[in-house]
Amino acid sequence: MNSISLAQIEQYAFEKKEFILAEDALNKVAKSFTFLTDFSKDKIIYGINTGFGPMAQYRIETDKLNSLQYNLIRSHSSGIGRPLNEIYARSVMVARLNAFLQANSGISSGVIKQLVLFLNKGIVPEIFEHGSVGASGDLVQLSHLGLNLIGEGYVYENGVRKNTSEVLARHEIAPLQMELRDGLGLINGTSCMTGIAAINLVYAKRLVQWAIAASSMLNEVIEAFDDSFSEQLNAVKHHKGQQYVAKEMREFTQGSGMIRNREELFKDDTALHRIEFERKIQEYYSIRCVPQIIGPIVDTIQYAQEVVENELNSTNDNPIVSPEENNVFHGGNFHGDYISLEMDKVKIVLTKLSMLMERQLNFLMNSKLNGKFPPFLNAGTWGLNFGFQGVQFTATSTTAENQALSNSVYVHSIPNNNDNQDIVSMGTNSAVLAKQVLENSYQVMSIHIMAICQAVDLLDPEEKERLSPNAKSVYNQIRQHASFVKEDVPQSESIAAVYEYIKETPFKL
């Protein structure tokens, strides 16, 4: 069986790695197609010599079987909304290709070869975000993929929308000639929601690392105590994600002269005799509880990765062809509930992550809370200048949108298709909304990390020098895209530049 990982999806989608088709894999696909061709000659097989969905009760005459597959693709190419960008679209193609390489779908080798050509030639299918109900798979979105494979509709090349037939002619690629059940095989699966989900996870994992970095850096600039992310404290709570985040924070802050050791307070005789302490004994939750808040986010994303990789390496269409069993099995492997549920969960934890960043940002904005920095990190003249006051509004507004988008899609099934599809997954809707929440969260993170760098510049020179090497590295990276703010200048372009940088640059210690 052909197996693929999230890391490989990242290579094919982001790095445009060439897809090398193994000869034995193609042979298995051909064997499955040959079996189905012979098996269906004297039997009723759904989608080969019957109509589709509620129309499956009607037999199709032999001379119309080929037209049936083309009619299916064309009639279901009804998507609308924003088209997926190249990274997401390539992921969808790889997901569909790998599902076919399991050799349980009975499609022709021509489908495999055409998908590989599109990937390796940089031809990006026009796949719209809206259309799928997530069972029978991603019928609408994958129909648009099929439409492009047969040389119709529009594709993107180097970011430019072009007529598919013209692009194929220039590359000397013949339109796919569909056979047997190729049309149904192309569209009757979960590969659009799965492809989107895979890229969402790649970006989500990057965002988590930036969030850990920002949280660690914040602990430094406000001179927090180190025991909140100590090994001893976090070891007594048995969650892998929490312990991972604490470990990352310890590694990030290595070499810092700003983080305080709790022993300092224990040995402070002056403090012991005070009625009211000058400095906080414990930090606010958004600073002190970072391992406990980001920990479940890490665990949720990790489990989602397992589910998505299982789906990537599954046969997710109907019917299933089994030469070994000398049979064809009808069922519902196209149902997208696994992806739908995981994308809902990922969406929720990303919203919580944006909430954490927004609260940390608010702590920096409010001089009465942090007791260290001017209001709104204002380096200009108070009253005349505004510092990060306007920028905070954007972070708060965007976080609020995330909260509104976090309602479950998994439980929003609406019967359709003459009630043939009486309970569906809405998996692609879930993945697309998770994608929106992800983009919003990166925007909030961009503003927050800009604010942390502003706080760094407001430190005394001696304090700034005591920051950890990692904090200085993050500061230098962000300062390549956003400057210290003293005079009031528009910040939209700086936020956008930081957004692009952190989204496309995985943070590593």
In the three-class reduction of DSSP (H, G, I as helix; E, B as strand; rest coil), residue 238 is classed as coil
Q: Give the residue among 46, 41, 73 at the shortest CA–CA distance from 57.
A: 46
Beta bridge partners of residue 320, listed in sequence order: 329
Burial of residue 77 (number of CB atoms within 10 Å: 0-12, 13-18, 19+): buried
Task: Name the token pair of 5.
Answer: 């990982």
Beta bridge partners of residue 311, listed in sequence order: none
Determine whether 475 is an active site residue. no
| Angle at the Cα of 484 from the Cα atoms of 481 and 488, rounded to 5 degrees | 110
In the three-class reduction of DSSP (H, G, I as helix; E, B as strand; rest coil), residue 84 is classed as coil
In the three-class reduction of DSSP (H, G, I as helix; E, B as strand; rest coil), residue 83 is classed as strand
Cα–Cα distance for residue pair 344/434, rounded to 1 Å? 7
Q: Give the residue among 503, 394, 406 at the shortest CA–CA distance from 451.
A: 394
Q: Which of 46, 70, 154, 284 is catalytic?
A: 46
In the three-class reduction of DSSP (H, G, I as helix; E, B as strand; rest coil), residue 247 is classed as helix
3-state SS, one letter per residue, for 297-359: HHHHHHHHHHHHHHHHCCCCCCCEEECCCCEEECCCCCCCHHHHHHHHHHHHHHHHHHHHHHH
What distances in angstroms separate CA 431 from CA 82, 337, 451, one per listed residue? Answer: 14, 11, 30
Q: Give the residue among 217, 248, 200, 202 at the shortest CA–CA distance from 450.
A: 217
What distances in angstroms separate CA 335 from CA 193, 194, 305, 316, 427, one per listed residue? Answer: 11, 12, 18, 8, 9
Beta bridge partners of residue 50, listed in sequence order: 59
The answer to whether the peptide bond before residue 483 is cis (omega within 30 degrees of 0) is no
Length of the chain: 509
Q: Give the residue among 188, 62, 183 at the shortest CA–CA distance from 132.
A: 188
Cα–Cα distance for residue pair 356/376, rounded to 1 Å? 18
Interacting residues of 265 by C-beta distance below 8 A, sequence separation 6+: 225, 271, 281
Cα–Cα distance for residue pair 479/167, rounded to 1 Å? 42
* Beta-sheet pairing, 154-157 with 124-125: antiparallel
Cα–Cα distance for residue pair 428/320, rounded to 1 Å? 22
Would you please indicate which residues are annotated as catalytic (active-site) residues?
A: 46
